Structure 1
Amino acid sequence: MSAEPRRPGTALDPDRNLALELVRATEAAAISSARYVGRGDKNQVDQAAVDAMRPVLGTVGMSGVVVIGEGEKDEAPMLFNGEQVGDGSGPEVDIAVDPVDGTSAAAKGLPDAVAVVGLSERGTMFDPGPCVYMHKLVVPGAAAGAVDPEAPIADVLAAVARALGKRQEDLTVAVLDRPRHAELVADIRRAGAAVRSLLDGDVAGAIAVGQPDSGVDLLVGVGGTPEGVIAACALRCSDGELFGRLQPRDDGERAAALDFGHDLDRILTTTDLVSGDDVFFGATGVTTGALLRGVRFQRDAVVTQSLSMRSRSGAIRVIETRHDRSRSNLIRH
């Protein structure tokens, strides 16, 4: 008797943790891109990561479609939106990928650059369409029901502090270091909280909110919508909640978003961004930051630190791996 084919959107194999397989891809991207850390060329960082990650993803037993990728096919030679990935033998899944979130940070030798991949059942990831940016608020799970995402930041900080049993002065808020956030940063500091500035890419900062002892209590500000979906994959597997609102940059983008079907007044939650019941996430540090340690090159080995997470089981693994230079096929000599 033949097995009934799996319907898109249903749970994946409960005994198979694809997140562990994804970590091999993020390790490959991190190791290759780390060779260019501090060398000043962010495009070189990104290309090295893409070139290393793609073939490893191709060996994973899945039939994946890139929903959040490097861009459109004509702009991104690999891992573009709509690309088919995996060996085609396994479950049908949506893929969200950023070979290096924080390419500028890596190029300058600064913290918080990470290689990340998330996946969930086919048809369960939010498609940003023309919307490049969104306003994000990420808070720990304990504060999710206590905050009003549309309230002034001082009120948000007060609510988070109460929910966490902390003093407001003990909170640390991750914010992208951009001119548009100057007033927001000033308001956070006036409220007594500290600011952790993120140079480039807010995925690591958002994920750190859901990790104990990361030193980051919340993230706020306008950042990339694709990065919001990637962060949501991780937050579905951990202790954090994202609230987002799409932010068109001009009238043309606003009209395109409305034509695409987006409600620009809607507050999107983590589950709106990734609605699957079985979400997997893998990340490897490129440079050391609040979330993970960066790649370390030793005489005979390369050492990486990664996260492997799955929403169904709640399993969160911090994996430190020593890759032998003479034997690992992830190391390009």
Structure 2
Amino acid sequence: MNTNYGMEIVRATEIAALTAGRMQGLGDHDAILNTTRSAIIKTLNRIHIDGAVVNDRFHDREDIVNLPERIGQGGEKTDVMAIALEGYHNAADGRNNVTSFAAIAREGSIQSVPNLSMYKIVVGPEVGNVIDINQPPLVNVKRTARALRKYTENVTVCILNQARHYQLIREVRSCGARIKLIDEGEISGCLAAITGEKADIYMGYGFAPEGTMVAAALSCLGGYFEGKIFYENDRDKALAAEHGIKDFDKTFRAQDLIRSKEVAFAATGVTDGEFLEGVRFTSNGAVTSSFVARAETHTYRRLETRHFFDYKPVF
């Protein structure tokens, strides 16, 4: 891409986070999601791009504000992904690990995926490709421990706290590894594993569209990702085929989901989470914590931005 769009899309995630932050804990799940999605659409539409919006998990929901098929004021053709509010139930309930994400890449480089479950394993660059999604969790935890030169008991595994993961949790516990359970926010959990700050490995089921956002981040930061889409029936396979997926046993890696190094990634915390701190409101504005990364140069920035509403209201 001719422009580094990282600082453009982080403005969109900041506005989304500020919008969600004002509705945090009010208990209305749909309202906070719809309002935040409207905010990120408005901000992304200010960018001088001709962006094709891909992998919106809510595109077929009549009760949820739809992202447009194309976004921006015109210009360079790109692919755009936006998850205005990951963990919106947590946001509405006033709980942690809520984040806004966006990614932009060269046109045609982001793999379109169906809105189905995907089993993922994510590790940081120190671990590399020693993991194998087709191996039992016990094997992958022990391989991670060896790569990090840690005792297995000192490895932290991040897992979504869902009923489908009870067997996975039992297997991880059987080898003595530490577990960090999160209710929502799988992308933040994966980023924690990539950076190694709060986890060493992420594993478990989540959504396939979220997998592409993780792959965008990983393209910028390094690390290793494997994912397999879970198909319950022939209808799911037919849906995948509409997205150009023909190998239903395929193990997706980051380069399969993001087929270019021309990609930028941005995230802003809404509530304190595994990867970023949340919005802090002040007497005359707010403070946001964001992250911006670019794959072409493997550079990233952590931003603390102070917003003064008295000078330029953002709402």
- Secondary structure of the residue that 1:291 maps to in structure 2? coil
CA displacement at 1:70 relative to structure 2: 4.7
Q: Compare 201-210 and 110-119 and name the one that shifted more.
A: 201-210
Out of 256, 261, 271, which is 1:272 matched to?
256
Q: Secondary structure at the match of 2:129?
A: coil
TM-score, normalised with respect to structure 1: 0.90
Q: Is 2:60 the partner of 1:77?
A: no
Q: Given the alignment, which residue of 69, 74, 87 partners 2:73?
A: 87
**Partner residue in 2 for 1:125:** 110
Flag as ranges the 4+ runs of structure 1 deviating above 2 A.
70-78, 249-252, 254-262
SS in 1 for 2:81: strand
* Of 212, 216, 230, the match for 2:213: 230
Instruction: Tell me the CA shift for residue 55 of structure 1.
Output: 1.2
> What does 1:32-111 correspond to in 2, within 5 Å?
32-72=19-59, 75=62, 76-80=64-68, 83-89=69-75, 91-111=76-96
Give the alignment of 1:80-229 within 5 angstroms: 80=68, 83-89=69-75, 91-129=76-114, 131-212=115-196, 214-229=197-212
Alpha-carbon shift at residue 237 of structure 1 (Å): 0.5
In 2 relative to 1, CA 145–47 (structure 1 residues): closer, same or farther, beyond 3 Å? same
Q: Does 1:253 align with 2:239?
A: no
Task: Give the superposition deviation at 1:201.
Answer: 3.2
Tell me which amino acid in the other structure corresponds to 2:303. Answer: I
User: What is the rounded CA distance, in whole Å, between the counterparts of 2:239 and 2:209 in structure 1?
Assistant: 17
Letter of the structure 2 residue corresponding to residue 85 of structure 1: I
Q: Could you tell me whether the CA contact under 8 Å between 1:134 and 1:245 is conserved in 2?
A: yes
Residue 144 of structure 1 aligns with an amino acid whose one-letter code is: G
Q: Deviations over 1:108-162 (max 9, x none)?
A: 2222110000111111111113x51111111112222212221111110110111
The C-alpha deviation readout for 1:259-295, integer Å capped at 9, x for no partner, is 6543111110011011112110010000101100000
| Contact 1:120–1:278, Cα closer than 8 Å, also in 2 | yes
- CA distance in 1 between counterparts of 2:160 and 2:283 reads 35
- Offset from partner CA, 1:27-77 (integer Å, 9 cap, x none): 000000111212222212211211211111011121101012253366343
Overall identity of the aligned pairs, in %: 30
Asked if 2 retains the 8 angstrom alpha-carbon contact of 1:300 and 1:325, the reply is: yes
Q: Distance in 2 between matches of 1:304 and 1:322?
A: 7
Task: Name the CA distance, whole Å, in 2 between partners of 1:77 and 1:38.
Answer: 20
- Which residue type is aligned with residue 28 of structure 1? I
The match for 2:294 among 303, 310, 313 is 310
CA–CA separation in structure 1 for the residues paired with 2:35 and 2:103: 20
Cα–Cα, structure 1 residues 169 and 23, in superposed 2: closer, same or farther, change >3 Å?
Answer: same
* CA distance in 2: counterparts of 1:77 and 1:36, whole angstroms: 17
Whole-Å Cα distance in 2 between the matches of residues 148 and 286 of structure 1?
33
Partner secondary structure for residue 158 of structure 2: strand
Counterpart of 1:242 in structure 2 is: 225
What is the alpha-carbon distance in structure 2 between the residues aligned to residue 269 and residue 17 of structure 1? 24
Task: Indicate if the aligned counterparts of 2:105 and 2:263 stay in contact, CA closer than 8 A.
Answer: yes
Question: Normalised by the size of structure 2, how large is the TM-score?
Answer: 0.95
What secondary structure is seen at the aligned counterpart in 2 of 1:55?
helix
Q: 2:3 matched to 1:19?
A: no
Map 1:5-16 → 2, pairs under 5 A: 12-13=1-2, 16=3
Which aligned pairs between 1:264-303 and structure 2 lie closer than 5 A?
264-303=248-287
Q: Distance in 1 between matches of 2:5 and 2:240?
A: 33
Q: CA deviation at 1:97?
A: 1.0
Partners of 2:238 and 2:72 in 1: CA distance: 35
| In structure 1, C-alpha distance between the alignment counterparts of 2:60 and 2:199, rounded to whole Å | 36
* Contact 1:104 1:199 survives alignment (8 Å): no
Contact 2:59–2:66 at 8 Å: present in 1 too?
no
Q: Distance in 1 between matches of 2:91 and 2:59?
A: 24
Secondary structure of the residue aligned to 1:39 is coil
Q: How many Å separate the matches in 1 of 2:272 and 2:284?
A: 21
Q: Supply the RMSD in Å over aligned alpha carbons.
A: 1.6
- Cα deviation per residue 1:180-205 (whole Å; 9 max; x = unaligned)? 00010111111111221121231111
